[in-house]
Amino acid sequence: MLRLVVRRLLQLIPTLLGLSVLLFIWLNRLPGGPAAAMLGERATAADKARIEAALGLDQPVWIQYGRFLKRLSELNLGVSTQTGQPVWDEFTRAFPATVELGISAMIIAIAVGVPLGYFAARRRGSWLDVTAVSGSLVGICIPVFFLAFLLKAVFAVQLGWFPSFGRQTTGIDATEVTGFYVLDGILTGEFDAAWDAAMHLVLPALALSSIPLAIITRMTRASVLEVLGEDYVRTAESKGLSRQVVRGRHVLRNALLPVVTAIGLLTGGLLSGAVLTESVFAFGGIGSFIKTAIDERDYPVLVGFIMFIAAAYVVINLLVDLAYSLIDPRVRVH
Amino acid sequence: MSTKTDKIDRLAELTASTETSTGASLWVEAWRRLKGSKMAVIGACIIGAFVVVAIVGPWVAPYSPTAQLWRGEVFTNQNIFVGPRAENWLGLDHLARDEFSRMLVGARQTLLVGIVATLLGFTIGALIGGASGAALVLGGKVGRRIDTVVMRVIDIMLALPSLLLAVSIAAVLGQSLTTVMIAVGVVQIPVFARLLRGAMLAQGGSDYVLAARALGVRKRRIALGHVLPNSLSPVIVQATLSLATAIIEAAALSYLGLGNPDAAEPEWGVMLAQAQDYFDSAPMLAIYPALGIIVTALGFTLLGEAMREALDPKLRS
Amino acid sequence: MALLSVDELTVTFTQRGRRDVKAVSGVSFDVDQGQVVGLVGESGCGKSVTSLALMGLLPSRGVKVGGRADFDGTDLLTLSGRRMRDLRGSQLAMIFQDPLSSLNPVVPIGVQVTEILTRHRRLKGEAARKEAASLLDRVGIPDPDRRLKEYPHQLSGGMRQRALIAMAVACAPRLLIADEPTTALDVTIQAQILELLKELVDQEGTALLMITHDLGVVAGLCDQVNVLYAGKVVESAARRELFEAPTHPYANGLLGSIPRLDAPRGEPLRPVRGSINDTIAWEDGCAFAPRCDHYTLECLQGTPVLGEPRKPGHQVRCVNPVLSGGAAELRRSVLPEPDEVPGADAAADGTGPEGDGPVEKADPAEKDAVETAGTAEKEAGA
């Protein structure tokens, strides 16, 4: 197990190095070059010259790359042109919000998708099955930002059931501990703050969960259908085991293996959706920040965030693989 | 002698009546199943209608997509919108342009984005994946090394959230329809590459490859003549599904402000992004392009899923 | 009265838009207490479907089951799902063909053994674990305590089948159904597994329904044999009777197709020509007729009935049975008694009838030639 972790961590290095090369090339290709990238498009010529000298743009490319790498490793990626804060600080401030949103969305997707897919498979051809299958097909075809927008227009603006933007009502008495507002509220005993933060989460999380939900439902359904035809399920039936044991231990345990893999991949891919959802709800996470960074051509933020996000994605994948080896004994030994 | 022929005739007659179905080739069988699938038929109908609109749309559009029909009035400030009426079936948009004409013309741009992006991703992805897979099947140290390097690069591309990758590309290339196509297409490259490589790898380990090798068939012929054609079906399915994702991703890029700014070439994604600003007073302006995108994407998804089912050897009867 | 009495069992698969397929069309046989009964036939003849129907393991959708299967006085086919669950694993147990795919890959062997003890014998915790270990020990798995913690992929093929057998006999069932239990195993392991089954059955007095295509298994194990063809019993006899005088042309061909070690060098093998797909509906005539060398016009006029053309108790479903005695004489002079032949070794046991010429492909053009040989043989027999 430990060897697997170490090996996977070592594999991380070339991936991140390759990524840094790509980013370096990308930075140099940006309109205006890396100086503009550091300062934003509205930088004055004097600023630009100063930065260019500081960056050593007169030196050979590989030295430039070396410096770039050094700054990356020091998490020193410059200053956001929007806020004037260091990129790393902005990232650590925004990250918990996105994680909170992502986890909520995944919880919804798993809590609804797995049972739905399971019962759809068991009652193949029933109205439940038809609804689940067609619902999941439509689900992946709705642009996430439009769904977010609709939810906001209907449930926040029209009906007023949920707040329409932000993570928490401004002015509410809340202490920040972890940066996860719901968790903070519970930890500090400020339950009204936790409730308020949770209400703010509902609509964005619902919008963000649409695609993972659709995919998890369909994968679970397909996987359960396949496992139901396996010999070992017939063996379990031939032993006269109760329905619960057959379904839980023999059908679901096997059927969920591919679903777990999918959940991991979906978690990593959640960020694309988060950019869109967060900007609709002005959620104040990485997504919102990136959207403004794009609008404002805030390149230091884009470079930094891309690097961190890619690293986070690779780490998530590693965790998924480790989780997988825990639940599938066939993988464990090798 | 006559009884002998009698009984043979009788037997022939009886066996003919219990004729069992003979095994057809994979593709023939898949086509037969596809025709019988409701999903495939609905999907194909949607796609057909969409393609027809995309082709003839600009010619049958009653107005120019850029013509402002109510010059001089500033609607948006007063939140006054012209709804559906006899001469403008879907009403006017925020700049008093005919929404119906813009939808018709926009269909072509949307289809174009989908097709070009998918073709780009498919071609480059399949080349990379095919080369990598072939290198593996051909075997040897060099083959494995080529594969390792290629797959590392693909892994890096996959490590970037698709939207960020597209945004990065768009940032370099500037704002245009071509940018959107390239950005969306590049995102698909690693998907196709991995898929084809994976399928070739699975095929490469199968018994018929071993048999062909044992018969002395050249490795190159095995890789290109046997393994590659047999690995193509998941890639073709993916290409169909990709048309749907490309259209949706393009809309997302438009929403992020990276879409085509040229009003002369309306595109559903841009239309949807712009209409959201006026959602409270004119929700239909957002709903028309959104429905267009959703229904079209659904068409490609339905067809793709039906193809996947039809080609699945496990589901063959 | 027999422990299990199957009467006119039919299983029909229905699919929308397709013609119904009769997998089993009127199978009847008995299994007595402590008896080993074989169901023999090639793949597709309906033997596995028969066993699944008896266990109530056929899918409920798209399958129609008819007839009766009285087990100790209750009809298994009409039993409620709940009562069937109570019977399965405790009174009726089954062993399947492929031990790897029949074991749950992500659950330790121990859990898969103890779950049946918990279900039917209410054993829990340490008691269940101990009993499971002793079961594994009983079926010849060394170091059972360690094996209990292992997963199926960590066991060898023979070991897996032993584990499955341990589960099947865990609650001392009265009837054990074994569906080709040795097909997926190496020949040396096959004999061991058969030996084990024989032992367990002898010790407990369990009745065993052995489903196989391997005549060697039949020769080594079964008391009574039913030969199935296209979903019907075509011959039913005591083992000795069947091996000495295979009377249905199919059974005859089956035995004749086994290669003999003592055959002169260069003697061609004698397969039963064609495949199970070359068939006609039983309603129209004998389903075996298209592959039969002896068929006549009468064979194609309605379903042949079971008769006893040779001996009482030896049932044959054939209009033109093979009644020549030559084959049996020869077998007795050349081969040991079938009783003395253990397990798979007996595969070399069967022989074809002597008068039968080598049979080539069933080309319609060639049919006449084949025909003549068949008729000549029949006349010689009569």
| Angle between helices B228-255 and A253-281 in degrees, nearest 10 | 30
| CATH superfamily to which A92-333 belongs | MetI-like (1.10.3720.10)
Once rounded to an integer, what is the mean pLDDT over residues C304-332?
72
Q: Which of C79, C32, C76, C88 is nearest to C50 (CA)?
A: C76
Please provide the distance, in angstroms rounded to a whole number, between the alpha carbons at the two ends of chain A.
Answer: 9
C183 and chain A: CB distance < 8 Å anywhere? no
Q: What is the greatest pairwise CA distance in chain C?
A: 71
8 Å CB contact between C112 and C93:
no
Measured between beta carbons, the chain B residues lying within 8 angstroms of A160 are none
| Residue C234 neighbours by CB distance under 10 Å | 25
Pick from B4, B7, B14: CB nearest C280 = B14
Give per-residue pLDDT as tens, B51-110: 888 888 778 777 777 766 665 554 555 556 666 666 666 667 766 677 777 888 888 888
**Burial of C276 from C-beta contacts in 10 A (0-12 / 13-18 / 19+):** middle
Pair of tokens at residue B132: 């990598």
Q: C115, C148, C160, C179: best mutation site toward chain A, by most A Cβ within 10 Å? A: C115
Contact B164 A290 (CB under 8 A): yes
Once rounded to an integer, what is the mean pLDDT over residues A259-283?
82
pLDDT of residue A64: 78
More confident residue, B203 or C211: C211
Neighbours of chain C (3+ CB pairs under 8 A): A, B
Contact A250 C55 (CB under 8 A): no
More confident residue, A193 or A226: A226
* CA–CA dist B99, A225 (Å, integer): 46
pLDDT of residue B81: 65
* CA–CA dist B269, B271 (Å, integer): 5
Which residue is it, tokens 């965790």?
A319
Neighbours of chain B (3+ CB pairs under 8 A): A, C
Pair of tokens at residue C350: 């069967």
Give the pLDDT band of residue C341 (cuts 50, 70, 90): very low
Residue spans of the domains in chain A: they are 2-73, 92-333
Pair of tokens at residue C5: 């009495």
**Residues from C in contact with B at Cβ < 8 Å:** 277-281, 284-285, 289-290, 295-297, 299-300, 364, 367-368, 371
Which residue is it, tokens 């402590």?
C34
Give the pLDDT band of residue A220 (cuts 50, 70, 90): very high
* CA–CA dist C165, C181 (Å, integer): 9
Contact A230 C55 (CB under 8 A): no
pLDDT of residue C171: 86
Once rounded to an integer, what is the mean pLDDT over residues C58-81?
86
8 Å CB contact between B195 and B308:
no
**CATH code, B160:** 1.10.3720.10
Instruction: Name the minimum distance, in Å, from the CA of B199 to any CA of chain C.
Output: 24
A154 and chain B: CB distance < 8 Å anywhere? no
Contact A29 B172 (CB under 8 A): yes
SS3 state at A282: coil
Mean pLDDT of chain A: 80
Confidence (pTM): 0.81
Listed in sequence order, the residues at least 6 apart from C382 whose beta carbon sits closer than 8 Å to its beta carbon are C323
Instruction: Name the minimum distance, in Å, from the CA of A233 to any CA of chain C.
Output: 8
Give the pLDDT band of residue C364 (cuts 50, 70, 90): very low
Contact C90 A232 (CB under 8 A): no
Q: B37, B46, B176, B248: best mutation site toward chain A, by most A Cβ within 10 Å? A: B248
SS3 state at B22: coil
Contact A241 C89 (CB under 8 A): yes
Pick from C96, C104, C108: CB nearest A250 = C104
Is residue B19 situated within a structural domain? no
Contact C280 B4 (CB under 8 A): no
Identify residue A55 by its one-letter amino acid code. L
Query: Could you report the predicted ipTM of this complex, rounded to two decimals?
Result: 0.80
Measured between beta carbons, the chain B residues lying within 8 angstroms of A308 are none
Measured between beta carbons, the chain A residues lying within 8 angstroms of C167 are 235, 239
pLDDT of residue A112: 95
C335 pLDDT above the threshold of 60 = no
Measured between beta carbons, the chain B residues lying within 8 angstroms of A141 are 244, 248, 293-294, 297-298, 301
Give the pLDDT band of residue A109 (cuts 50, 70, 90): very high
pLDDT of residue A58: 63
Which residue on chain C is closest to B13 by alpha carbon? C280
Domain count, chain B: 1
H or E element at residue B123: helix B99-138
Domain containing B276: what range?
29-70+88-315
Identify residue B45 by its one-letter amino acid code. C
Which residue on chain B is closest to C20 by alpha carbon? B18
A327 and chain C: CB distance < 8 Å anywhere? yes
- Within 172-191 of B, beta carbons closer than 8 Å to A belong to 172, 174
Contact C89 A235 (CB under 8 A): no
pLDDT of residue B3: 63
Task: Of A4-8, B289-293, C64-68, C218-222, give the lowest mean pLDDT range.
Answer: A4-8
Q: A20, A24, A141, A314: best mutation site toward chain B, by most B Cβ within 10 Å? A: A141
Give the pLDDT band of residue A92 (cuts 50, 70, 90): confident
Measured between beta carbons, the chain A residues lying within 8 angstroms of B286 are 146, 149
pLDDT of residue C177: 92
Backbone φ, ψ for residue C211 (5° rounding): -105, 125
Contact B17 C297 (CB under 8 A): no
Neighbours of chain A (3+ CB pairs under 8 A): B, C
Which residue is it, tokens 């929308």?
C16
Size of interface A-C (CB pairs under 8 A): 80
Pick from C89, C101, C111: CB nearest A232 = C101
Give the pLDDT band of residue A221 (cuts 50, 70, 90): very high
pLDDT of residue A31: 67
Residues of chain B with pLDDT under 50: 1, 19-22, 74, 316-317
A258 and chain C: CB distance < 8 Å anywhere? no
Is residue B294 situated within a structural domain? yes
Which residue on chain B is closest to A277 by alpha carbon? B252
Is residue B273 situated within a structural domain? yes
C85 and chain A: CB distance < 8 Å anywhere? yes
Pair of tokens at residue A250: 């023999």
More confident residue, C201 or B278: C201
8 Å CB contact between A294 and B167:
yes
Contact C164 A235 (CB under 8 A): yes
Pair of tokens at residue C255: 């035995």
8 Å CB contact between C1 and C24:
no
DSSP code at position B98 = B
Which residue on chain B is closest to A309 by alpha carbon? B160
pLDDT of residue B39: 84
Three-state helix/strand/coil letters over chain C: CCCEEEEEEEEEECCCCCCCEEEEEEEEEEECCCCEEEEECCCCCCHHHHHHHHHCCCCCCCEEEEEEEEECCEEHHHCCHHHHHHHECCCEEEECCCCCCCCCCCCCHHHHHHHHHHHHHCCCHHHHHHHHHHHHHHCCCCCHHHHHHCCHHHCCHHHHHHHHHHHHHCCCCCEEEEECCCCCCCHHHHHHHHHHHHHHHHHHCCEEEEEECCHHHHHHHCCEEEEEECCEEEEEEEHHHHHHCCCCHHHHHHHHCCCCCCCCCCCCCCCCCCCCCCCCCCCCCCCCHHHCCCCCHHHHCCCCCEECCCCCCCEEECCCCCCCCHHHHHHHHHCCCHHHCCHHHHHHCCCCCCCCCCCCCCCHHHHHHHHHHHHHHHHHHC
Pair of tokens at residue B59: 């010619």
Which residue on chain B is closest to A271 by alpha carbon? B161
Contact C106 A242 (CB under 8 A): no
H or E element at residue B300: helix B283-311
Instruction: Name the minimum distance, in Å, from the CA of A274 to any CA of chain C.
Output: 35
* CA–CA dist C203, C200 (Å, integer): 5
Pair of tokens at residue C9: 């069992």
* CA–CA dist B83, B288 (Å, integer): 12
Q: What is the dihedral of CA A112, A114, A115, A121, to 10 degrees?
A: 130
Percent of chain C with pLDDT over 90: 3
A48 pLDDT above the threshold of 90 = no
C325 pLDDT above the threshold of 60 = no
- Within 294-313 of A, beta carbons closer than 8 Å to C belong to none
pLDDT of residue A115: 93
H or E element at residue A23: helix A2-29
pLDDT of residue C138: 83
**Residues from B in contact with C at Cβ < 8 Å:** 3-4, 6-8, 10-12, 14-15, 17-18, 20
Pick from B171, B276, B302: CB nearest A149 = B276
Which residue is it, tokens 């986070």?
A312
- Within 28-67 of A, beta carbons closer than 8 Å to B belong to 29-31
